[in-house]
Structure 1
Amino acid sequence: MQEQLQVDVDRIETGSVRVRKVIQEETKPVSVTLREEHVEVRRVPVNRPVDERYAPRQDGDTLIIPVFEYVPVVKMQLMLKEEVHVMTVESQHEAVREFILKSEELVIERREGTDGEWKPETDTE
């Protein structure tokens, strides 16, 4: 006769852990610089004869576009009727816009035993 030893391991639930992710939204004002451009158009009468057409030209921040017409005279002559001066004006101002910022937080809860209550974990454990 001889005795034999048999060792088994039974799994018994002594507790469990539940992990959730909570997303929080917070609206924060953010200061931004907004730029605007406005175009001013001014018609400048010229009404003088010219020998030939010429292309638009730039004078500082003003674009000058010539407008020609043929007018009847004793002879046909090209007349510079007017110039259109186009200027760009830039302005900027501070404005407050609201943006939604999201952050995530993990909530970890532990349960002692199979019938215990869920309790949040703290950093001290």
Structure 2
Amino acid sequence: MTDEAAAETVLPLVEEALRVEKRAVETGRVRVTLSTETVEEVLRETLRTRTAEVERRPVGQTVTEVPKVRQDGDVLIIPVVEEVLVVEKRLVLREEIHLRLTDTERSVEQPATRRVQHAAVERVQPAAEAPEG
């Protein structure tokens, strides 16, 4: 064997390559038609209002502790006290606030316009299958 033949041997390498392609195929069509109509409606709702009547009632009574807020029927009574400096310090119930809450209701009507849409869906043939003409 010669030195040239022993020195280099070339082996060809082969590789297969794959190619993937995709294409869009129309299988059907849909036509959507929207129609809008106007509907007149009268909205009805009951509205509630709360008012408060405040009546201040002087008491002028000496107490040993702050009275608690209390409920008398539909009247909420809130004690108001102050410290008065005399020879000794006393807690005096100066007044009570009588708070009466009144609820009233009234019905209101308000015309309003709203829009309503309807959709009609129709299946049509694909372009490739559509008859000519």
Please give the TM-score of this superposition, normalised by the length of structure 2. Answer: 0.59
Tell me the residue number matched to 1:100: 113
Provide the C-alpha distance between the structure 1 equivalents of 2:31 and 2:70, rounded to a whole number of angstroms.
73
RMSD in angstroms over aligned alpha carbons? Answer: 2.6
User: Amino acid of the residue matched to residue 44 of structure 1?
Assistant: R
- Answering whether residue 100 of structure 2 is matched by residue 87 of structure 1, we say yes
Provide the C-alpha distance between the structure 2 equivalents of 1:73 and 1:106, rounded to a whole number of angstroms.
85
Tell me the residue number matched to 2:57: 44
- Answering whether residue 72 of structure 2 is matched by residue 72 of structure 1, we say no
Tell me the residue number matched to 1:118: none
Q: Number of residue pairs matched?
A: 96
Question: 1:101: how far off?
Answer: 3.0
User: Amino acid of the residue matched to residue 82 of structure 2?
Assistant: E
Overall identity of the aligned pairs, in %: 34
- Answering whether residue 38 of structure 2 is matched by residue 25 of structure 1, we say yes
Provide the C-alpha distance between the structure 1 equivalents of 2:132 and 2:113, rounded to a whole number of angstroms.
41
- Answering whether residue 76 of structure 2 is matched by residue 56 of structure 1, we say no
- Structure number with greater Rg is 2
Provide the C-alpha distance between the structure 1 equivalents of 2:34 and 2:42, rounded to a whole number of angstroms.
26
Tell me the residue number matched to 1:3: none
Provide the C-alpha distance between the structure 2 equivalents of 1:31 and 1:63, rounded to a whole number of angstroms.
33
Provide the C-alpha distance between the structure 2 equivalents of 1:28 and 1:114, rounded to a whole number of angstroms.
49
Question: 1:103: how far off?
Answer: 2.1
Q: Which has the higher strand share?
A: 1
94-103 or 73-82: bigger deviation: 94-103
